[in-house]
Structure formats: structure tokens, C-alpha cells
Structure 1
């Protein structure tokens, strides 16, 4: 198929070229029915407005797009830095979009990347649904999944074994004698959280004699941890958990703050293990045990895969899996690291 332009969109929608232009630039001037026909035609034809005039067909933009899950999580700041380091060496700049756990925000970032004709895209999918990434791929935009695996093998990807990480954290809590285990994290619609919980369930099931309670949060961060900590502190001592696996360091730190404020001992009353091993983990009031993710290396590897894909679009799909590592500190009875 040849290049799809505004005239083709107008013809399919049964409107004038000026109407299509108004839908794109001044939508308030177009009636709802006409606008709907234009948007349907754009989707059917795969038309992408070419915003910067310098980005003509066949000319590289020198920019890659990067849509990450949530920059409030320290892990993703390191991932971005790793990708930028590799991109700079290749003469590329990085346009970053923060999806902030929202499918709609992620979709807007991907649409913007396409409009600005980025050379390729790094993306941490918010959900298991990869249809938006497939649309980019079908339109000739290389996509590499970051912190997510592609079970179908359609995309290059870089990911951590989060099931293994969840299992590792929970096995450690059980090994130090904890039997009332809580998993704190969410939303569970996010693949990483669901996988960490799956590993946690596996460890509890294999151990025997331990119980698991799942506390799904409605977001990521200190607030979720603090609210959970307040709930635990209000429980009778014989009913509260004696071991908590938090799906991120920020949730673990918020949990720790609430428990210490209530006078509970860590790890005496409640042992805690987080996830990410962010810079904060070793510097909390009680140094936090955490599952380490090699964020910098993951960002670098993802950018390298994308640059390889730009150089050879027909090369075999590559998937790079990193193994988790448990860093034991005082929050679960280990030494400070």
C-alpha cells in the first residue's frame, strides 16, 4: 500500500479534506457524526499525521520513544537512565512518557510517539494487552518491551523473572520462621504484581504450615504501605502477620513507617521484604531486605535491542531475562548491606 494521506482519509470518511484537517487540529469545529467517521477512517487506514515537516518518509528522526509504568517508582528512573546512556552513544535522544499506571495515558504516549515519527519505541505495558504495540509494529515502528515478557514471541523484550522474585522473598520469610504471611501490592491487573504474587503463592503452598493473606492496593507507593501498616497495627497480636512481602520498596517503606510509629518491632513482631532494592532500601530506619532488580542493566539492554532492531528489521526476536537476587538486611533479620 502506498503512503496514506489526508485525501485518502477524506475519501473513505465521505467528507472534505478541510473537515479531516479540522478534526485533527480544530475538533471543536466538526460535528460529532462527521468526526466519528473521520476517526474511524484514520484507524482503518492507519493514517498518522506527520507533524514535524523535517520528518519526511525514509528519514530517521534520531529519537526513540519510551513509555514507562510509573516514574514515581525509583526503579524506572534507573531504567530510563540506562536506556538514555546507550541511546546517547548511538546518537539518539529519548522522549519519555510516564503512563502512571494508566492504559489511557500509555495510549496517548504511543500515539504521540507515532505522530512525531520516532525511530522506535521502548514500552513497559500497563497490562497484558499488547494490541497497541502490535498496531505500532504493523505500521513499521519497532517496539521493544521493557520489564515485560512477550509469551507469543512477537517482540524483543527485557524482563525480570518476577515469579522467581516473589518466590525468593517468600521462601526467605518462611525460612526465618514466619508463618502468617501477607502479600501487599497492586493493582494485581499489572503483570509484574500478579507474577510476584504467583511466586509468593508457590512458596507458601510448597512450605506447608504457612498461610497467605493478599492485600491488594489501589496504587503504588508509600500511601498504600502506610494504610496497610495502620491496619496491621490495629490487629490483635496473635492475628497480625509476622511476615510481609511488599511488591515494591515504596510500599514496604510506608508499611515500616506505620508499624514503627505504632511501637511494633521490625523484624521482631513483623519481618518485611520489599522489591526493587532501590537506593532507599539500605537507608531506611531499619534497613530493608529487598529483591534486587538490575534496573540500569535492564534499561541498557532494552535500548541495545532496539538499536539492533533498527539496524536489522528482519533479525530473530530476542528475549533477555534477568534473574532476581534477594538482598538480606535487618528488616528480616539479615545484616545491613
Structure 2
């Protein structure tokens, strides 16, 4: 009887192993079995000093039970592939995108992968060149933070069997997973804050309106202004969202007649906002007493600027890491039916650039 049970158990174990071989076990499966996040699994297996011994034991036990093999060791990420993830960003000079890259590298490193970064510098032709390069070097998958429309190039990647995940954007067709930010809510939050401090003449200073993130931030700001009787919103456009360009705009606004000059500004990023503050001050304005300024992204420099900047915080590093984890799950074939469209919500960080009250 005992011998029969042993043989039956061995046969059942063999069937379980065959099942695991038919469907590659991925990091998401281990996370579900252990009841922890994907990042915790990565840390427990690759950087155990970052988590508790109890979590390390739980994760490793789950991995052993499932027969998990790290992605890189699983036939070297498929024969003929590069071991690379491709990542395009709009402009890496903006610390938001630098943080996004760092987050993607965190997840890639935990999976034994490297990240090939393409900086588009606000140029759609460069962006398309980067995607063509990803195709030529056969990256394992592509993370795309798009500046312009890229459907034909993304379709070419798909035909080559290269999965893609959008970062800081949403696929309107519903075909691609995405990790994005609620920019409509962010723009509304920024404008509502200025209105709550008594400002009624607002301006939105940003890049070209065809950039989706900027368009949605403006949409949110307009919604807040529309709900406040007597408030106005003036859009001010620039092709470059640098601190130098912001300074020039600030000096120009400082020279306006006080009766028409905006007393509250929403900038489409923190570089632009910090420049606006410097330009306003050099033009004789007091920030925030005469003009209050809200930035966007909450980069590191926002808190240590000459006038600490109120800003809408985006979790850039978390977004990059989450997007890379989604992509790695797709490469491993463990992404599941849910494409994983993750949307982060804004948080307003209030600092000195909006502390005073403007004239209503």
C-alpha cells in the first residue's frame, strides 16, 4: 500500500513538473503564490538585504514550489535575443524622464536584463529612429513614452514578436498595456489650488497642445476655472519647456499691465515653472504675493529652488519600474488576460511659490 502511494505521488509530481514546463512560471506567479508584490519577489531573489528574512523565506519557498527559473536563465531569454529592453523617452534632460529610466533599470536589473535608452529630445523623427533601432537589435521588449503618433512603428515591433508597454501614455486602441498618470486630474488640482488662494486670472504655460499630456493638463485646468465664477485662464504656448524659456516668459509677464497680468500660473513642468519664478522676480514681481506659480512633476530641484515650488507630483521612478515589470511579464508569457492599464493619481505638494494670496 505504501509503495503504491509513493509511486502515485511520484507520478503526480511528474505531471506537475510537466505542467510547469508547458507553461513557463514567471515572477508574477511567484508573487501571487507568496502573496507579495513583483518588486518584493525581485528583491527577495536578487537583493535579499532589502527585505526581511521572513519575506525571503516565503518568496524562495514559493519559487521552489512552482519550479520558477529566473528569466535570464530560462534559455537565455530565448535563443537569438539580445537581453535588452528598449526605452524611448521624450526628453531625458527633464529629471522626470531620468527618474523613469532609473525605475525601469531597477526592474530590468532584477530580471537580469539591461535597458537601451533612446532620448527623442522632443523630436518625433528621432523617436521613430529609436524604435527602428530596437527592431534591428531585437530587444526583448520596448517601453515607449511617446512624443508623437507611433502606431505603424509599434505595429512593426508587434509583427517581429517584440512586445511593448506604453509609459506616461495610454493606448486608445486598447491593444497595448500602459502605465500612465491622470493628467486631467493633475491640471485640475493645480488650478483649483490657485483658485482656492484667491487667484482669478490664471495662465497655463506649456509645450505644444498636440502633446497629449500637456493637452490633458490644460483640460483639467480649464475644468477647474469653468467651475469658478469670474475666473479666467489664458494658454501660453512654447516649443521649448526649459528653465531658460520659462525665465523669458516670466520677465515678459512681469512687464504686463497689472490689470491684465495673470496672478496665478500653472506650468506644464517644473523646469519651466522654476524659470518662470526667476523671470518674474527679476522683473520686479513678488512670488507668490503678486504671482503664484504651480509646477508639474515635483522634481528634486522643486523643493530646493530659491522659492520652493508648489508642484503636482508624479511617481516617475515607480511608473518606470511598474512598466518594466509589466513588460518583463509579457516577455515571460505570464502577463495574463488583463493587459495591465495602470493609472497613477496626482498629489499636490504645496510650497512657498503659492503660499500668499493674490488679488481676486
Tell me, yes or no, whether TM beats 0.5. Answer: yes
Contact in 2 for aligned 1:87/1:303 (Cα 8 Å): yes
Q: Give unmatched runs, 5+ long, in structure 2.
A: 1-75
Contact in 1 for aligned 2:202/2:264 (Cα 8 Å): yes
Q: Does 1:327 align with 2:343?
A: no
In the alignment, the residues of structure 1 paired with residue 231 and residue 80 of structure 2 have an alpha-carbon distance, to the nearest angstrom, of 60
Q: Does 1:182 align with 2:219?
A: no
For the residue of structure 2 that corresponds to 1:207, the secondary structure is coil
Q: Does 1:197 align with 2:205?
A: no
Cα offset for 1:131? 2.9
| Counterpart in the other structure of 1:134 | 155
For the residue of structure 1 that corresponds to 2:166, the secondary structure is strand
| Counterpart in the other structure of 1:50 | none
In the alignment, the residues of structure 2 paired with residue 56 and residue 269 of structure 1 have an alpha-carbon distance, to the nearest angstrom, of 58
Match of 2:245 among 211, 224, 231: 224
Contact in 1 for aligned 2:185/2:346 (Cα 8 Å): yes
Q: Give unmatched runs, 5+ long, in structure 1.
A: 1-54
| Counterpart in the other structure of 1:120 | 141
In the alignment, the residues of structure 1 paired with residue 215 and residue 278 of structure 2 have an alpha-carbon distance, to the nearest angstrom, of 25
Structure 1 stretch displaced more, 175-184 or 221-230? 221-230
| Counterpart in the other structure of 1:253 | 274
Q: Which has the larger radius of gyration?
A: 2
In the alignment, the residues of structure 2 paired with residue 280 and residue 314 of structure 1 have an alpha-carbon distance, to the nearest angstrom, of 37
| Counterpart in the other structure of 1:33 | none
Cα offset for 1:314? 7.2
Cα offset for 1:208? 1.9
C-alpha offsets along residues 61-111 of structure 1, whole Å, 9 cap, x if unaligned?
111111111001110111000100110010000000101111100011011
Greater helix content: 2
Instruction: Using structure 2 for the length normalisation, give the TM-score.
Output: 0.75
In the alignment, the residues of structure 1 paired with residue 214 and residue 229 of structure 2 have an alpha-carbon distance, to the nearest angstrom, of 23
In the alignment, the residues of structure 1 paired with residue 156 and residue 82 of structure 2 have an alpha-carbon distance, to the nearest angstrom, of 20
Match of 1:318 among 334, 340, 351: 340
Cα offset for 1:264? 0.7
Cα offset for 1:220? 1.8
Aligned CA RMSD, in angstroms, stands at: 1.6
| Counterpart in the other structure of 1:242 | 263
**Would you say how many aligned residue pairs link Structure 1 and Structure 2?**
280
Matches within 5 A, 1:40-59: 58-59=79-80
Match of 1:84 among 105, 111, 134: 105
Cα offset for 1:57? 8.4
Cα offset for 1:318? 1.2
Instruction: Using structure 1 for the length normalisation, give the TM-score.
Output: 0.80
Cα offset for 1:133? 1.4
Contact in 1 for aligned 2:86/2:143 (Cα 8 Å): yes
For the residue of structure 1 that corresponds to 2:147, the secondary structure is coil
Q: Does 1:291 align with 2:312?
A: yes
In the alignment, the residues of structure 1 paired with residue 209 and residue 153 of structure 2 have an alpha-carbon distance, to the nearest angstrom, of 21
Structure 1 stretch displaced more, 75-84 or 312-321? 312-321
